[in-house]
Amino acid sequence: MRLHVADHPLVAHKLTVLRNKDTASPTFRLLVDELVTLLAYEATREVHTEPYRITTPVTETVGVKIADPRPLVVPILRAGLGMLEGMTRLLPTAEVGFLGMQRDETTLEAITYANRLPEDLSGRQCFLLDPMLATGGTLVAAIDYLFGLGARDVTAVCLLAAPEGLKVLEAAVGDRVDVKVVVAAVDERLDENAYIVPGLGDAGDRLYGVV
C-alpha cells in the first residue's frame, strides 16, 4: 500500500474551514468539491494513457489521451457522493459506479447494502471516494469487493485518515503497490466512538443533514 498526503497550503486552508463546526452545509459541500479536485490531481498522476496523433494549427504531433478501458470512479454512498463532482471534473471521461456501504455502529463492521458496478473490472483503474478513513473497515471491504470483480489497481481518495484505519488497511492489503491512498491529512487518532480526532464530524451529516 502506498500513502500520499497532499501537502499544499490551499489543501490545508480548505480543510481548516471544513473542520470548523460553524461551517454551514452549503459552504461545506462547496469546499469538499474544491478539495477533492485538488486531491484528484494527485490521485490521477499514474492514470493510464496512450499515444494520440493530432493536428495543431501548425503541424502534426503525437500527444496522449486517457487509455481504454476508461477509469472507474466509485463513490461509497452516501458521503462519497459529495466527492463525485470534484473527481469527475478532473477526470470527465471516467465511468461512474456506486457502492453502498455503511458502518454498523455496534460492531463497527462495514455492511454492503447496494452496488451499481460493472461485472468485470479487469484492467480498469478504480478510484474509490470516501471522505473518512476511520476504522478502515469500510475501505477494506470496498477494496475487497472491487478485487472480487477483477480490479487490480485501486486508489482511495479520502479527506481525512486516522492512523488506526491506515494500519488496518495496510494489514489487509500488505505491500501491494497497486493500492494507493490519497488524503488531505492524517489526524491524531480515533475516539471511543471511532470518530476521527480532531476530524470534522460526520461527513455525510455535514454534507446532507441528519437523516
Domain ranges in the chain are 2-208
As a whole-number percent, the residues of the chain with pLDDT over 90 amount to 76
Question: Binding residue per annotation — 136?
Answer: yes
Is residue 137 a known part of a binding site?
A: yes
- List 168's β-bridge partners, or say none: none
Is 156 one of the annotated binding-site residues? Answer: no
The set of catalytic residues is 103, 107, 202, 205
Pick the CATH number of 2-208 from 3.30.390.30, 3.30.230.10, 3.40.640.10, 3.40.50.2020: 3.40.50.2020
Q: Express each pLDDT in 3-36 by its tens digit.
A: 999 999 999 999 999 999 999 999 999 999 999 9
Least confident of 63-67, 151-155, 197-201, 205-209: 205-209
This prediction has a pTM of 0.91
How do residues 125-169 score in pLDDT, each as one tens digit? 999 999 999 999 899 999 999 999 999 899 999 999 999 999 999
Does residue 112 have a known ligand-binding role? no
| Cα–Cα separations (whole angstroms), residue 18 to 25, 95, 113 | 10, 28, 28
Find residue 132's DSSP bridge partners.
160
Cα–Cα distance measured from residue 194 to residue 162, given in angstroms and rounded to the nearest whole number: 10
Phi-psi region of 30 (alpha: psi -120 to 50; beta: other; left: phi over 0): alpha
